[in-house]
Structure 1
Amino acid sequence: ISVASQRDTEQADIEKERQQQANGPEARQHELEELAEIYEQRGLSKPLAHQVAVELTNKDVIRAHARDELGIDIDELANPLQASLASMASFVIGAGIPLLAAAFIHEAKWRLISLSISSTAALIVFGAIGAGLGGANLFMGGLRVMLGGWLALGITYGIGRGFGSAA
């Protein structure tokens, strides 16, 4: 749902940019100046920033503004289906690891220990992988996902106990 909302927001921002461009020559000139200002802030001289803004605007005004003013790549809008498939695969793999670790252990105490260790290890590894893919600190990513996972497990356990469910 959040990915679909993000895509809707991106599309609305792009449409707003289209409307601003359709408001006449003065509005287009204002938008061009905004774009040139962005390039100046990135370190280009004022004349070069203006030239770059003009060139990119002449090529594809909406794409230029979406990318540099809004931070949106028109060709790479958020994809809810792709996100849901990735979530499904993550869930299946993430749930499978502890289940496989405990599947062949019959004594309850050792099964619980196996589930705890394998779940914790999986949370750390997947958190570190996610952090690495995003260019963030691996240790902090692993720690954050592990603590979030433990919190979710604790809350789920507490709710189950509250309803009298055997854990």
Structure 2
Amino acid sequence: MLVQVKAVHAGQASITGMVDVQPMVHQQDKQGKPHPRQIIHNVPYLRIQGGTSALIIDPKPGDIGFIVISGRDHTHAVTTRRPSAPASFRQFAMQDCVYVGGFLNNGPDQFIQATDGGWRIVTPGEVSIEATKITANCDIETSGDVKAGGVSLKQHTHGGVQSGGSRTAPPS
């Protein structure tokens, strides 16, 4: 069922959050009069995850996506995150659903794109990498500066050097 996100209750990085969603297609009575559906609260949302690795892009209010409705009451399985008996005899109820987003939305301002030529990362902000080590097996080019230990690659100077035609030796 097509829905729009009304509120986001984001979880920590370690657990997925919940959304409140509004179904976008109304019910109709036999005279064709539309009847808007109620907001569905506390719907778990999808993250792309495998084991302990994930791509975390939490939904935002106004996003459009789908809910997938479970065949049975999944309340116990959602709250315990373990295989569980149904919490009731309820079947195919809208409150037993999960949100899968990213349909019919406007184009993004930031993204990671896989192309035939490689990966493209676009952001209006900063890119922050937290790692113990970064290894690159490639040439690295930048129009900006590179700094290591507070020393600028473009602006650093060497003292005790006499001017002339000589050059320093390459790094060893």
Alignment TM class, shorter chain as reference: under 0.3
Higher fraction of strand: 2
More helix, by proportion: 1
Q: Larger Cα Rg: Structure 1 or Structure 2?
A: 2
* TM-score (normalised: structure 1): 0.17
